[in-house]
Amino acid sequence: MGATIHLNAITHRYKAGAPTVLEDIDDQIKSGERVVLIGRSGCGKSTLLHMIAGLLMPAEGCVKIAGRQVVRPSAKWNMMFQKPSLYPWMNVRDNVALGLRFAGAGKAEIRERVAGLLDLVGLADQAGANVQSLSGGQQQRVALARSLATRPDVLLLDEPFSALDAFTRASLQQEVAGICGDLGITLVTVTHDIDEAILMADRVLIMGRNPGRIEARLTVDLPWPRDPGSVDFQQRRRALMEQFQQTDQFQQTGDGSRTERPPSSAQDRDGAPWRRVSNG
């Protein structure tokens, strides 16, 4: 499992003459690598993730996965959203099996694979439960199992843990990164959360805005699973915060030059660190 993702000279605007949303995005995400896209709201990180998923075509440039240009969604690259989007009239087992049924898998294969996935995400004892009876964290585990059922090469996460409580969120961050590492799945996550980026990434891409572009990259060479209380973790966290603050000081003008960004709030004017937010 796992596939290399190439982001080739991606520039995007939604229609001719409209403001540029993304500009000159170039990167290679290695097979099995865990990468996080981080930046302020409006920097285009979710737009870029949708392009990787095949939900949106860039105006210029292209996305390639395993050497093939992405032009539509595929079961080989699955996406998890902020909401689990489960079918409320189905039990846990049937929700997880849905993609396999669409793919034409046999009953025995479905039964065996679903049982293994529910055990993997810690829901083996909830197979027959209605998904509406589950907690938010359990529902996201069902969505994760469903995403893994088709044995994807790439898993794309668009802030799927943002609405969860802190304890459940931290647990799922570690679990998802660990599962993708064990299975060799390439993982790309969008977040606003500095801690989540360090918890889940081998490498962080820091995006600026107006227009959205990759301003900096940070390698997170920490052992798995990550310990947020460790000195090394806190050092990487500070390094990411410093890089973000440096790139956030500048914005691009209409003629393509870079200029210092004026303070946008009292907190910015006072020089306080960028606040970690859970959503929006």
Q: Read off the pLDDT of each residue in 87-109 and give the average, rounded to a whole number.
A: 93
Strands (E), the chain: 5-12, 22-29, 34-38, 60-65, 68-69, 77-80, 154-158, 186-191, 203-208, 213-219, 250-252, 258-260
Instruction: Please give the mean pLDDT across all residues of the chain.
Output: 87
CATH fold of 5-76+152-269, please? Rossmann fold (3.40.50)
Q: Is the pLDDT of residue 263 over 80?
A: no
Whole-model pTM?
A: 0.86
**Terminal-to-terminal C-alpha distance of the chain:** 32
* Higher per-residue confidence, 279 vs 166: 166
Q: Are 142 and 95 in contact (CB under 8 A)?
A: yes
Long-range contacts of 124-127 (CB under 8 A, 24+ apart): 126/92, 127/91, 127/92, 127/93
Name the nearest CA neighbour of 191 among 92, 82, 100, 94.
Answer: 82
Rounded to the nearest 5 percent, the helix, strand and coil shares of the chain are 35, 25, 40
pLDDT tens figures, 216-241: 999 999 999 999 999 999 999 999 99
For residue 211, cis peptide bond before it (omega within 30 degrees of 0): yes
The per-residue pLDDT for 16 is 86
Q: Are 65 and 235 in contact (CB under 8 A)?
A: no
* Amino acid occupying residue 220: V
The per-residue pLDDT for 260 is 52
The per-residue pLDDT for 258 is 52
Q: Read off the pLDDT of each residue in 122-143 and give the average, rounded to a whole number.
A: 93
pLDDT tens figures, 3-40: 999 999 999 999 888 899 999 999 999 999 999 999 98
How many Cα neighbours within 13 Å face the side chain of 132? 4
Strands (E), 137-239: 154-158, 186-191, 203-208, 213-219
The per-residue pLDDT for 272 is 34
Q: Is the pLDDT of residue 278 over 60?
A: no
**Secondary structure class of 96 (helix, strand, coil):** helix
Confidence grade of residue 248 (pLDDT, cut at 50, 70, 90): low
Which residue, chain included where needed, has tokens 């529910």?
A: 118
